[in-house]
């Protein structure tokens, strides 16, 4: 179940007595603040955070609670998400892990659900009223990867370029926006010959929220330009289209795995008002022109735009919003 009572909420973590900057190994400001809590209050909060961690990682098995302690609670001062990052340590082997506490909002929840249903990635999260907790997604942050790995001799450039093209397609099909380099990570998996790469989104608050079509294509963000240049240099247009078709086929297959969940999500999103009328008008107009499909102008909210975009790109018209399906059938000669 996604919705569960949590012992600690987002607002509880704001009740601090002090904070100090978290520096990296090079003594540079990470834009995270380590929070300091009153001793008694902190003990209570940390116990609740440990319970949340075992809920995320082991289904709530409290037997492992005595093995754990909260090492740090960090607060991000950069961007609009303002998440808390909790560092949990196993006291017997010093192994550490993280999870995140964020403000819950509709776009973020829909983004997480679509990631779970339509991407090749698993992500575990829970909601309690205005609080969202997410597990940590392992990988090298995109901006760090571009700065520190892109020029390495052992980089398999073609495999990375292929994966970025597929990631670009995954984002656009389901309209996940704002994939600047710091909003995704790169997983590197050693293969028997060379590394494999997987690009994964780590922030989902811009799910079908903005009005610009280009906002949903990572290729158009300036800090992704080094990777885009790599793709342009190594992958010709025909091969790029092949990778796009491959990714659409994989997404299409995932509709067969959880059809009832996707149907419920579609019904919910198509009844919700996620964004402003101005942004809705712009996005449906730009997508309508791109697809040469007048049905986009009939969309009443971002949920309808999202699922019509999915239906058109994947050639799955049965996944279009029901109201638009009925409209198109009524207009047939």
Q: What is the pLDDT along the chain (333 residues), one digit of tens a residue?
A: 789 999 999 999 999 999 999 998 889 898 999 999 999 999 999 999 999 999 999 887 888 899 999 999 999 988 788 999 999 999 999 999 999 999 999 999 999 999 999 999 999 999 999 999 999 999 999 999 999 999 999 899 999 999 999 999 999 999 999 999 999 999 999 887 788 999 999 999 999 999 999 999 999 999 999 999 999 999 999 999 999 999 999 999 998 888 899 999 999 999 999 999 999 999 999 999 999 999 999 999 999 999 999 999 999 887 778 767 655 544 444
How far apart are the C-alpha atoms of 176 and 208, rounded to whole Å?
6
According to the model, what pLDDT value does residue 137 have? Answer: 96
Q: Which of 128, 135, 136, 134 is nearest to 9 (CA)?
A: 128
Within 13 A of 55's CA, how many CA atoms are on the CB side? 23
- 297: helix, strand or coil: helix
Query: Exposure of 71 by Cβ count < 10 A (0-12 exposed, 13-18 middle, 19+ buried)?
Result: middle
Residue-by-residue DSSP string for 69-132: EEEEEEEE-STTT--EEEEEEETTT--EEEEEEEE--HHHHHHHHHHHHHSS----EEEETTEE
How far apart are the C-alpha atoms of 319 and 314, rounded to whole Å?
9
């Amino acid at each position: 179940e996604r919705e569960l009572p949590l012992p600690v909420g987002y607002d509880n973590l704001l009740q601090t007595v002090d904070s100090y900057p978290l520096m990296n190994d090079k003594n540079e400001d990470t834009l995270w603040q380590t929070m300091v809590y009153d001793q008694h209050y902190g003990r209570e909060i940390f116990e609740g955070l440990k319970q949340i961690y075992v809920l995320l990682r082991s289904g709530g098995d409290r037997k492992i609670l005595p093995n754990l302690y909260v090492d740090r609670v960090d607060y991000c001062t950069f961007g609009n998400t303002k998440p808390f990052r909790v560092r949990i340590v196993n006291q017997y082997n010093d192994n550490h892990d993280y999870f995140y506490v964020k403000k819950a909002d509709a776009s973020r929840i829909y983004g997480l659900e679509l990631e779970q249903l339509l991407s090749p990635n698993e992500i575990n999260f829970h909601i309690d009223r205005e609080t969202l907790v997410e597990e940590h997604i392992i990988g090298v942050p995109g901006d760090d990867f571009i700065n520190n790995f892109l020029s390495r001799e052992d980089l398999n450039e073609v495999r990375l370029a292929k994966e970025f093209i597929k990631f670009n397609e995954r984002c656009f099909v389901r309209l996940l926006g704002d994939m600047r380099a710091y909003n995704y990570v790169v997983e590197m998996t050693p293969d028997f010959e060379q590394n494999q790469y997987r690009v994964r989104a780590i922030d989902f608050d811009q799910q079908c929220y903005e009005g610009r079509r280009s906002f949903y294509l990572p290729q158009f963000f300036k800090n992704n330009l080094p990777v885009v240049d790599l793709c342009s240099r190594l992958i010709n247009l025909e091969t790029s289209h092949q990778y796009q078709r491959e990714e659409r086929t994989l997404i299409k297959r995932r509709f067969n795995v959880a059809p009832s969940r996707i149907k419920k999500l579609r019904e919910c999103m198509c009844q919700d008002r996620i964004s402003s009328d101005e942004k809705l008008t712009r996005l449906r107009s730009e997508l309508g022109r791109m697809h040469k499909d007048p049905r986009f102008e009939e969309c009443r909210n971002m949920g309808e735009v999202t699922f019509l975009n999915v239906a058109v790109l994947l050639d799955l018209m049965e996944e279009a919003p029901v109201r638009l399906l009925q409209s198109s059938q009524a207009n047939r000669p």
